[in-house]
A and B are shown apart, each in its own frame.
With several copies, the nearest count.
Chain A
Amino acid sequence: MERKSVIVDEAAALDKIQDGMTIALGGFITAQHAMGIIRGLAGRRIKGLTVIGSLSASLEVDLLVGCGCVRRLISAYVGAEAAAPIGPFFKKAAESGQIDIWECDEIIIAAMLHATAAGVPFFPVRGGLGTALPELNKDLKEFRDPIHNEPLLAVPAMPIHVAITHANCADRYGNVQYTGNAFADGLIHRAADTTITTVERIVSPEEIRRDPFKTAYNAQTIVRMPYGSHPYSCHGLYVEDHDHLTQYATAAYMSTKGDHSAWDEYLKRFIDTPEDHLAYLEQVGVRTLFSLNEF
């Protein structure tokens, strides 16, 4: 008997995500999103997803909202800081009631993930008492702690079908390592039933074993996707593509105001026409990609 490789191609990974699932996206704000998969979901117009953009998300979530994939959204923030104070499609969908928002802050979302990962029904937190959160998010229950009778907020666990993360490298057995910060990726991996990780490079098992302390988790599915986080950053390799994010934010904003031309152009060029991740990178262009060197 032989040990099995967990490397699959892009289409096979995308086939694992179906309408109505709950997915958790890795990275943090503008770093390390598995954009090859996320663009694929947007391109397939997957419907009815519950999306956890952990712990604070960026425009990768906005893209899924804009393409009509999202029914329910769980994130402490949707924006791109200097490039976009708020995700335009997220803002419009929230204002029109098109999506449900599970209102939270980063620590409440982390508590939900911790409870799920630990297999307990809830975790207690202090933050949120006296705020609008328990009124806006009916899942959060105020209660008295059974020992000291102090007021607390119970944050429930939530089953998650798939975690989708992006990392620097993995071996063919799914051992994933990061050069920089893994943020909450290990946590969502443990909370989810299964994990799909896109990586910049596949490395040998020997390379992984050189520093086992660097292994963040063992993913069930690995897809090789160089520059897989573009237009977001990947620590140790490339920074955010600020111009691309601005282009997205402008097109999306104009679309929410009724002028769809720039957005239709963006969608056609970057989401719908490229048949795979490498075709997307061809659209971005070698010159742009190599301009994103980190230091």
Chain B
Amino acid sequence: MTDYSVKELMACWLARDLVDGEFAAVGANFPIPRAAVLLAHFTHGPNMTVGMGAFKVCLDNVDQVMTLKYFTDFRPMRWAESASYFPLDLFGFHKMDVFYVSGIQIDAYGNTNLIGIAGEGGQYKFRGPGSIGTTTLAAVARRYYIVAEHHTPRLFVEKCSKISALGFGDGTPGLRKKLCLPGGGPKYCITPLCVFDFHPETSRMRVHSLHPGVSPEQVVADTGFEVEIPAKVMETKPPTDVELSVLRNRVDPEGALRT
């Protein structure tokens, strides 16, 4: 089996959870989900609608995709079937199948924070960049994934200082339904150490699988909230040779995920 980086592992794992025909968008500066969507499109999703920057593209005849530094990059225009600029219309979000979220804090109930961390007297001790589109998309997209490029106790906290995208709130059963949010909420959270899912009753994160070579103790040590680890925990299935080959040759020729 070929050697692989943990980012490649994360991308391959996320790709497998995408279904042909789904509608998924690829952001810029969020390389793991980008790779996951493109990999799924190339391996088993020819009928996926792929949002790339401000376009919907189909890449069936495309050998290699360039990496974009900026979301608004015009170059995917060459593969575009239509132009797409969602926030403008208020439209179609609830028809989005899948979406990816990150944050400066991620809490035990899958809430995320891009706003900031409160300090003294109502001010911020750390201000984040802003919610982008996550507040609404987390509310309405059919499902979403939380993707963390690091796994530290400062990132994974018991409670977000400010919630910008609602996961399962404080864990109140049926909270999302009570708020009439059409989206199902976060399905998984993937980190460099493990995959979390959400306990169906408590809505708290628990370990779904550990990446190869990662111990339960390491996850406990690096997570800022008390985390449930089932007795029999799976190992995250590593990338196959085929996946790695498509990933490296067509999706990520520049090797952004290899380090």
A and B touch in the complex (CB under 8 A): yes
Task: List residues of A whose CB falls within 8 A of some B CB.
Answer: 1-4, 28-32, 55-56, 75-83, 85-87, 90-91, 94-97, 103-111, 114, 117-119, 123, 125-133, 136, 150-152, 171, 173, 175, 180-181, 183-184, 187, 190, 205, 208-209, 212-213, 215, 217-218, 233, 235-236, 239-240, 242, 294-295
Q: Smallest CB-CB separation from B128: which chain A residue?
A: A86
Q: Given A86-B127, A97-B123, A136-B115: A212 and B81 within 8 A (CB)?
A: yes
Q: A106 and B136: CB pair below 8 A? A: yes
Q: Smallest CB-CB separation from B28: which chain A residue?
A: A81
A101, B163: Cα distance in complex, Å? 16
Tell me the minimal C-beta distance from A244 to chain B in angstroms.
13
Q: Smallest CB-CB separation from A132: which chain B residue?
A: B162
The answer to the question of B33 belonging to the interface, with a C-beta cut-off of 8 Å to chain A, is no
Q: Smallest CB-CB separation from A94: which chain B residue?
A: B127
Partner of A127, one of B127, B129, B135: B135
Q: B134 and A105: CB pair below 8 A? A: yes
A95, B163: Cα distance in complex, Å? 17
Q: A181 and B72: CB pair below 8 A? A: yes
**Proximity bits, B120-133, A CB within 8 Å = 1, else 0:** 00111111111111
Q: A213 and B119: CB pair below 8 A? A: no
Q: Smallest CB-CB separation from A79: which chain B residue?
A: B129
Tell me the minimal C-beta distance from B56 to chain A in angstroms.
8
Q: Smallest CB-CB separation from B74: which chain A residue?
A: A235
Tell me the minimal C-beta distance from B44 to chain A in angstroms.
6
Q: Smallest CB-CB separation from A125: which chain B residue?
A: B136
Q: B179 and A151: CB pair below 8 A? A: yes
Q: B139 and A129: CB pair below 8 A? A: yes
Q: A77 and B132: CB pair below 8 A? A: yes
A56, B77: Cα distance in complex, Å? 21
A190, B119: Cα distance in complex, Å? 39
Q: B164 and A240: CB pair below 8 A? A: no
A77, B128: Cα distance in complex, Å? 9
Enumerate chain A residues within 8 angstroms of B181, measured Cβ to Cβ. Answer: 126, 129-130
Enumerate chain B residues within 8 angstroms of A76, measured Cβ to Cβ. Answer: 130-133
Q: B115 and A103: CB pair below 8 A? A: yes
Tell me the minimal C-beta distance from A252 to chain B in angstroms.
14
Q: A75 and B92: CB pair below 8 A? A: no
Q: A108 and B136: CB pair below 8 A? A: yes
Q: What total of A-B pairs shows CB separation below 8 Å?
A: 235
Enumerate chain A residues within 8 angstroms of B131, measured Cβ to Cβ. Answer: 76-77, 103-106, 133
The answer to the question of B221 belonging to the interface, with a C-beta cut-off of 8 Å to chain A, is no
A22, B128: Cα distance in complex, Å? 24
Enumerate chain A residues within 8 angstroms of B77, measured Cβ to Cβ. Answer: 180, 212, 235
Max count, chain A CB within 10 A of own CB: residue among B54, B72, B85: B72
Q: A131 and B81: CB pair below 8 A? A: no
Q: Given A1-B20, A95-B124: A105 and B164 within 8 A (CB)?
A: yes
Q: Given A3-B58, A173-B81: A108 and B46 within 8 A (CB)?
A: no
Tell me the minimal C-beta distance from B141 to chain A in angstroms.
10
Tell me the minimal C-beta distance from A170 to chain B in angstroms.
11
Please name 20 pairs of A and B residues whose Cβ atoms are closer than 8 Å in the assembled complex, sorted by A.
A28-B71, A29-B72, A30-B71, A77-B132, A79-B130, A82-B28, A86-B127, A106-B87, A107-B87, A110-B89, A129-B181, A130-B163, A131-B165, A132-B162, A180-B77, A190-B91, A213-B82, A218-B81, A233-B73, A295-B75
Partner of A111, one of B90, B95, B129: B90
Enumerate chain B residues within 8 angstroms of A87, measured Cβ to Cβ. Answer: 129
Q: A240 and B135: CB pair below 8 A? A: no
Q: 20 additional contacts, CB 8 Å, given A94-B124, A126-B179, A184-B87? A: A4-B47, A31-B74, A32-B72, A76-B131, A81-B69, A82-B29, A94-B127, A95-B125, A97-B123, A105-B135, A126-B136, A127-B137, A129-B180, A131-B165, A173-B81, A181-B72, A184-B88, A190-B92, A205-B81, A233-B72
Q: Smallest CB-CB separation from B29: which chain A residue?
A: A81
Q: A209 and B79: CB pair below 8 A? A: yes
The answer to the question of B235 belonging to the interface, with a C-beta cut-off of 8 Å to chain A, is no
A127, B74: Cα distance in complex, Å? 29
Residues B75-113 near A (CB distance < 8 A): 75, 77, 79-83, 85, 87-95, 113
The answer to the question of B55 belonging to the interface, with a C-beta cut-off of 8 Å to chain A, is yes
